[in-house]
Amino acid sequence: MSGHSNWPEWIYVAVVIALMAWVGAEAWEAERLVEHVPADAKTIIVTGQQWFWTFEHEDGTKEIGELHVEVGKAYKFEIVSTDVNHSFNIHDYVVLIDAIPGRVNTVWFAPDKVGEHDIQCREYCGLIHYNMRGTLYVTEPLS
Amino acid sequence: MKFIFGFLLIIGVLVIVPAVDFAFAAGDEPGKYLDRRAVIWNLFYKMMTVAFTVGSVVSGTIIWQVWRFRESHPKAKPTSYEGTDW
């Protein structure tokens, strides 16, 4: 290979490795940020079953098909399923995690505005999957 | 080869080590309040920027190579097995 220089290829390799490392680190950091639950987050147990969602607050109160939370507070969802795979999704807050039988998945969020948002199942779970919906009500703090 | 390993080492020190350090820096303390929409969509836009930049460079390189090394290019050099009777 006399007269042939391959340094551009090595630079190309180095740039690709550097980009992959940067992309990986950015994704890792974002995942770490969104997975670390604030210490004062309130736990809500979310149960998915064909074809509705049940929410159980820390004080034991339960809601079916709708969820009331207070603006400015953090909530940790512990998501379970009693039958098949579902996926808990609050689209407006980018909350999306599977509900798997025999497993507890967690995700947290802190609503920042009063309002109503759709809750839906994002994993095909049977005949009435399309209607496995709920509503999130974000209200002013009661106390 | 020394130059190449030196170059890779410099890239490693300048880019990879800080990137990994950045990811590990915060440790395992409880999380802070944040807008997950902002974090996730920011990541998405960064990834798309990288993807489109890399895509442009790679496809641009391929297009240039096809253009430059076509048989009819004025500076085309036939290889030995193609003969020299042009």
Domain spans of chain A?
A: 1-36, 42-139
Q: Does B11 touch chain A (CB under 8 A)?
A: yes
Q: Which CATH superfamily is domain A42-139 in?
A: Cupredoxins -  blue copper proteins (2.60.40.420)
* Chain A: residue whose CA lies nearest to B28: A36
Furthest CA-CA distance within chain B: 75
Burial zone of B53 (CB within 10 Å; 0-12 exposed, 13-18 middle, 19+ buried): exposed
pTM over 0.80: no
Cα–Cα distance measured from residue A106 to residue A37, given in angstroms and rounded to the nearest whole number: 9
Cα–Cα distance measured from residue A44 to residue A74, given in angstroms and rounded to the nearest whole number: 11
Cα–Cα distance measured from residue A129 to residue B35, given in angstroms and rounded to the nearest whole number: 29
Instruction: Report chain A residues whose CB lies below 8 A from the CB of B19.
Output: 21-22, 24-26
In tens, the pLDDT along A47-101 reads: 999 999 999 999 999 999 999 999 999 999 999 999 999 999 999 999 999 999 9
* CB spacing of B11 vs A17 below 8 angstroms: yes
B43 neighbors A27 (Cβ within 8 angstroms): yes
The ipTM value here is 0.76
* Chain A: residue whose CA lies nearest to B41: A94
Domain spans of chain B?
A: 39-72
A60 neighbors A27 (Cβ within 8 angstroms): no
Cα–Cα distance measured from residue B84 to residue B61, given in angstroms and rounded to the nearest whole number: 28
Burial zone of A1 (CB within 10 Å; 0-12 exposed, 13-18 middle, 19+ buried): exposed
Decide which of A2 and B2 is more confident.
B2
pLDDT at A142: 80
